[in-house]
């Protein structure tokens, strides 16, 4: 074995964090122990629940769900909605029981585009620890995440993945998709197709579940996707503007890409009178104002909904079995900056350095607000209409659309951004049941973990959410802040929220405890750094 091969075997997937650490951007503090959650139990029973199983099937009640050692052992229908069977005809007592009469149980949510913090944040002050991110996710029902890029390093991510799987830390299940280092504007250590294949074999051997691409020269990308297929690695791509002129997401879909992330690559696949987006002369990709304002013009330069080109592109994505992870939420600020900047949760839940990172200082990724205008917002609203129309139609014709949040940028705080994505999928035209399916079983299928999680079925892991009310009636009630409601009896404003317990692998988390921990961490982050701006 050559030294170079040795090096690749230990460092493939660490390229970016090694470089970042040298530049003052070290990894986020990992979680080391679990200080919340009870279980798993020998026998945990959820009694008398209304089940919404995640497959798209409508609610059904009442049922007892029996969980043994972290796995769903039985689901028994126990009578009629207003008439429970006598105890003698119900499953025998457990060592922990949760009374779910009047409550709704859904699968845990799958966030298909997530970052466990981002080392970039270090430039804005002391970084939030991984515990902050994990607790916000669990408190919003997220029990599985696809770590898109492993920006803290592949080894770091695999360590957290193992500790999450064993219940040693309070965290969702983690799938590790390291960053493929072959783009000029971020980090490029792969220069040939042969190097791409070698690197992929190395990260696969280290334990990667899939690959996050940002583009690459086409010959390298094609070889890499071919090697992914050989190795059984799934893939997602953010088709960055620096790469998309040579291959849009229909090209990469043909080469075997599993999913397109965000919107990049789709608008370009729909171009019919051009191959390259029309930019104005002052455009500079290095200035994020240009990057993000011109991205709001892609769809209007593309084929119209219902046109022959639109239909042909749609047909081909469907035939290829392609998936979209739109992450509508992460661009929400582009169409209404004030709404996103003043969101109800920043006061109590946005960590000091994260808030600082969001501010327009000309440096941080996604902080391009130096001259955001009415025109920019209107263009983005129009862009969303076309983009959402495509995604909704793709879903209606049988295509898979998974839910991803990409939080940690652009005024989107962890957990809250995921719930916002549920709202935006509904805005795109999904019914609430379709939204839930996207957020559960379709995400699990995309990540190739649907035999384990994503729906409520006997034999699967017990990743379950216990809600006080039907979440399909109003996704806003899933925000940790709750949603503003007038109590008609008292004539007082209240902020109810409905997620009571998040159960992951049979470990029962009390959402209120998780949120109290997060509020403490945020308050402490402000005490420790009084010089940082605050919401
Ligand atoms: Zn991302």
Neighbours of 524 (CB within 10 A): 12
> From ligand 1's centre to the CA of 15, what distance in Å?
17
For the segment 493-515, the average pLDDT, to the nearest whole number, is: 98
> From ligand 1's centre to the CA of 260, what distance in Å?
12
> From ligand 1's centre to the CA of 19, what distance in Å?
19
Q: What is the pLDDT of residue 1?
A: 43
> From ligand 1's centre to the CA of 371, what distance in Å?
24
On the question of pLDDT at 361 being above 80, the answer is no
- Using one digit for the tens of pLDDT, what is the confidence trace for 195-207? 999 999 999 999 9
> From ligand 1's centre to the CA of 148, what distance in Å?
6
Ligand 1 ion: residues within 5 Å (CB):
148, 406
> From ligand 1's centre to the CA of 198, what distance in Å?
25
For the segment 215-235, the average pLDDT, to the nearest whole number, is: 97
Question: 22: part of which helix (H) or strand (E)?
Answer: helix 15-22
> From ligand 1's centre to the CA of 296, what distance in Å?
18
> From ligand 1's centre to the CA of 181, what distance in Å?
15
- Using one digit for the tens of pLDDT, what is the confidence trace for 143-153? 999 999 999 99
Name the band, by pLDDT with cuts 50, 70 and 90, for residue 362: low
For the segment 63-78, the average pLDDT, to the nearest whole number, is: 97
> From ligand 1's centre to the CA of 418, what distance in Å?
13
Q: What is the pLDDT of residue 9?
A: 74
> From ligand 1's centre to the CA of 186, what distance in Å?
14
> From ligand 1's centre to the CA of 513, what distance in Å?
28
> From ligand 1's centre to the CA of 28, what distance in Å?
16
| CB distance 292 to 367 below 8 Å | no
CA within 13 Å, CB half, 47: 16
Name the band, by pLDDT with cuts 50, 70 and 90, for residue 5: low
On the question of pLDDT at 253 being above 90, the answer is yes
> From ligand 1's centre to the CA of 467, what distance in Å?
29
> From ligand 1's centre to the CA of 520, what distance in Å?
27
On the question of pLDDT at 2 being above 70, the answer is no
Name the band, by pLDDT with cuts 50, 70 and 90, for residue 184: confident
- Using one digit for the tens of pLDDT, what is the confidence trace for 101-113? 999 999 999 999 9
> From ligand 1's centre to the CA of 237, what distance in Å?
10
Tokens 């679990």 label which residue? 34
Which CA distances in Å does 225 have to 243, 247, 412?
A: 15, 13, 31
| Residue 40 preceded by cis peptide, ω within 30 | yes
On the question of pLDDT at 442 being above 80, the answer is yes
> From ligand 1's centre to the CA of 213, what distance in Å?
11
Percent of the chain with pLDDT over 70: 99
> From ligand 1's centre to the CA of 115, what distance in Å?
7
- Using one digit for the tens of pLDDT, what is the confidence trace for 376-393? 999 999 999 999 999 999
> From ligand 1's centre to the CA of 295, what distance in Å?
16
> From ligand 1's centre to the CA of 114, what distance in Å?
6
Name the band, by pLDDT with cuts 50, 70 and 90, for residue 7: confident
Closest listed residue to residue 401, CA positions, set 365, 435, 451 = 435
> From ligand 1's centre to the CA of 222, what distance in Å?
22
Q: What is the pLDDT of residue 185?
A: 76
Average pLDDT score over the chain: 95
> From ligand 1's centre to the CA of 113, what distance in Å?
6
> From ligand 1's centre to the CA of 460, what distance in Å?
29
Give CA–CA dist 449/82, Å, rounded. 36
> From ligand 1's centre to the CA of 323, what distance in Å?
16
> From ligand 1's centre to the CA of 367, what distance in Å?
15
Residues 6 or more apart whose CB falls under 8 angstroms from that of 182 comprise 188, 189, 190, 191, 196, 215, 216, 217, 220, 221, 224
> From ligand 1's centre to the CA of 214, what distance in Å?
10
Region class of 506: left (phi > 0), else alpha (psi between -120 and 50), else beta: left
Q: The whole model's pTM is what?
A: 0.97
Contacts 24+ apart (CB under 8 A), 274-281: 274/301, 275/245, 276/245, 277/241, 277/301
Closest listed residue to residue 411, CA positions, set 442, 451, 369 = 369
Q: What is the pLDDT of residue 3?
A: 54
> From ligand 1's centre to the CA of 466, what distance in Å?
29
> From ligand 1's centre to the CA of 261, what distance in Å?
8
For the segment 253-278, the average pLDDT, to the nearest whole number, is: 95
Name the band, by pLDDT with cuts 50, 70 and 90, for residue 368: confident
> From ligand 1's centre to the CA of 112, what distance in Å?
10
């Amino acid at each position: 074995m050559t030294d170079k091969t040795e090096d690749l075997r230990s460092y493939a997937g660490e390229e970016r964090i090694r470089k970042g650490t040298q530049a003052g951007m070290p990894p986020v503090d990992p979680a080391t122990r679990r200080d919340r959650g009870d279980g798993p139990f020998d026998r945990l029973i959820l009694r008398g629940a209304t089940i919404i199983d995640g497959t798209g099937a409508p609610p059904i009640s009442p049922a007892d769900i029996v969980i043994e050692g972290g796995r769903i052992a039985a689901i028994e229908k126990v009578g009629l909605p207003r008439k429970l069977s006598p105890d003698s005809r119900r499953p025998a007592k457990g060592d922990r029981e949760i009374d779910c009469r009047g409550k709704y149980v859904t699968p845990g949510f799958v966030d298909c585009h997530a970052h466990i913090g981002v080392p970039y944040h270090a430039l804005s002050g002391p970084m939030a620890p991984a515990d902050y991110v994990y607790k916000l996710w669990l408190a919003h029902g997220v029990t599985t995440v696809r770590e898109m890029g492993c920006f803290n390093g592949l080894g770091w991510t695999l360590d957290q993945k193992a500790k999450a799987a064993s219940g040693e830390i309070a965290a969702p299940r983690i799938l590790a998709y390291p960053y493929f280092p072959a783009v000029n504007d971020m980090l490029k250590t792969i220069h040939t197709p042969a190097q791409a294949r070698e690197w992929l074999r190395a990260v696969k051997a280290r334990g990667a579940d899939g690959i996050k691409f940002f583009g690459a020269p086409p010959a390298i990308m094609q070889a890499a996707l071919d090697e992914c297929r050989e190795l059984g690695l799934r893939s997602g791509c953010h088709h960055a503007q620096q790469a998309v002129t040579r291959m849009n997401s229909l090209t990469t879909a043909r080469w075997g890409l599993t999913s397109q992330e965000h919107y990049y690559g789709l608008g370009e696949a729909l171009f019919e009178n051009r191959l390259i987006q029309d930019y104005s002369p002052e455009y500079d990709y290095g200035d994020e104002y240009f990057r993000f304002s011109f991205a709001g013009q892609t769809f209007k330069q593309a084929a119209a909904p219902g046109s022959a080109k639109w239909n042909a592109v749609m047909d081909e994505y469907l035939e290829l079995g392609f998936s979209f992870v739109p992450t509508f939420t992460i661009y929400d600020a582009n169409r209404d900056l004030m709404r996103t900047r003043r969101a109800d949760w920043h006061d109590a839940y946005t960590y000091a350095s994260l808030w600082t990172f969001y501010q327009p200082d000309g440096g941080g990724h996604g902080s391009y607000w130096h001259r955001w205008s009415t025109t920019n917002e209107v263009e983005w609203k129009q862009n969303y209409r076309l983009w959402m129309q495509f995604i909704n139609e793709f879903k209606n014709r049988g295509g898979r659309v998974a839910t991803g949040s990409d939080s940690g940028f652009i005024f989107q705080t962890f957990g809250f951004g995921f719930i916002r994505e549920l709202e935006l999928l509904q805005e795109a035209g999904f019914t609430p049941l379709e939204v839930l399916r996207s957020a559960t079983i379709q995400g699990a299928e995309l990540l190739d973990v649907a035999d384990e999680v994503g729906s409520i079925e006997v034999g699967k892991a017990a990743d379950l959410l216990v809600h006080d009310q039907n979440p399909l009636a109003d996704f806003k009630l899933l925000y940790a802040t709750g949603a503003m409601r007038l109590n008609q009896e008292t004539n007082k404003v209240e902020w109810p929220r409905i997620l009571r317990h998040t159960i992951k692998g049979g470990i029962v988390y009390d959402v209120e405890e998780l949120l109290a921990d997060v509020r403490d961490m945020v308050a402490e982050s402000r005490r420790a750094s009084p010089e940082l701006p605050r919401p």
